[in-house]
Amino acid sequence: MASSDDQVHEEQGFLSHLIELRDRLMKMMLAVVGLFIVLFPFRDNIYSWLAEPLSRFLPEGTEMIAYEVASPFFIPFKLALMLSVFLAIPFLLYQIWAFIAPGLYSHEKRLVAPLLASSTLLFYAGCAFAYFVVFPLVFKFFINVAPEGVQVSPDIARYLDFVITLFFAFGIAFEVPIATVLLVITGITTPENLKKMRPYVFVGAFVIGMFLTPPDIISQTLLAVPMWLLFEVGIVFSGYIKVRAKEATEASTAKTEAEAEEAEADAAKTMALQAEKDEAASTADESVADSKSSSTNDGDENKAGRTPDVPGGYRNSLTDYDGTDESER
């Protein structure tokens, strides 16, 4: 019977988690759809803003083109949808956090919440760096090195794919400090070991830049150098967090020891009070027993002064009363 009840509770808990997950997903979808409805009327303006780093360097009289028949509609539509997801990232992460937070310990909550917030800000910072720093340099280089007689007229679909790739590449690259801190916190490595790996990280940053960026040295370098610098920032922060974690552990250990000592003192005090109560009770019992013994002895002595003379009577040495009336004598 108990096992069936436990199984019912288990199934109810699982269903409640599924219902909560459904509600969270619905909220996430509604947030994205709501932002998309707001942004869709401005889709053309948004694409013009996204193409501005390239358009400023195009030769006079040159414009971007669309190869596909449906591209003038679907490309701005796709951009508005992706921008909706991009802007909704904080809310999406909050919903994920609200779903998993009840299952975490308090120290895990204190660790995960700042990491989620900082990772979101760093991703936005990487995208902003790509738009305001990388795009102008890369597009200016590409257009200036075009052979003479070649008209540069990029396709709007190819351009969108190109910039989205760079956005994600720089957004992920700016997460290096978070990855570094996580490696140190989980105990996989230490700041000292990370410092020894600097040469390998420097080379690895250029290798990663080669895969994440288009095949040009400028975008590769512009990705690799910030990644390496952010790795150094991650080492600094991981060392600081490690010291803080050590101090917190020592403080927690000291608090636990103090609480244990206080509990032992309370237990000893309680035992002493109980011993005093037991001793007082024992003394009271002995006093009662002594008084009862004294009363019994007095009774025996009274009986010892009277001797039986006739059945039902005692002769007293003082009165010589034998228990009969005077008339019977």
**Which residue from 230, 242, 222, 172 is spatially nearest to 201, judged by alpha carbons?**
230
Round to whole Å and give the CA distance between 207 and 15: 46
**Which residue from 69, 58, 213, 207 is spatially nearest to 142, judged by alpha carbons?**
58
Q: Which two tokens stand for residue 198?
A: 């600097």
Q: What local confidence, expressed as pLDDT, does residue 314 receive?
A: 47
For residues 7, 8, 13 and 18, what is the CA-based torsion angle, rounded to 10 degrees? 100
Question: What Rg value do the Cα atoms of the chain yield, rounded?
Answer: 45
pLDDT in tens, the chain (329 residues): 555 555 655 666 678 888 888 999 999 999 999 999 999 999 999 999 999 999 888 888 788 888 888 889 999 999 999 999 999 999 998 888 888 878 777 766 777 778 888 889 999 999 999 999 989 988 888 888 888 878 888 899 999 999 998 898 899 889 888 888 888 877 788 888 888 888 888 888 888 888 877 777 787 888 888 888 999 888 888 877 777 766 666 666 767 777 777 777 777 777 877 777 777 777 766 666 666 666 555 555 555 555 454 455 445 444 444 444 444 44
Q: What local confidence, expressed as pLDDT, does residue 329 receive?
A: 43
Q: What local confidence, expressed as pLDDT, does residue 264 receive?
A: 78
Beta pairing partners, 155: 65
- Residue 320: left (phi > 0), alpha (psi -120 to 50), or beta? left
Q: What local confidence, expressed as pLDDT, does residue 104 receive?
A: 72
Residues in the chain: 329
Three-state DSSP state, 306? strand
Q: What local confidence, expressed as pLDDT, does residue 164 receive?
A: 92
Q: Which two tokens stand for residue 2?
A: 């108990």
Q: Which two tokens stand for residue 213?
A: 């960026």
Burial class (CB in 10 A: 0-12, 13-18, 19+), 232: middle
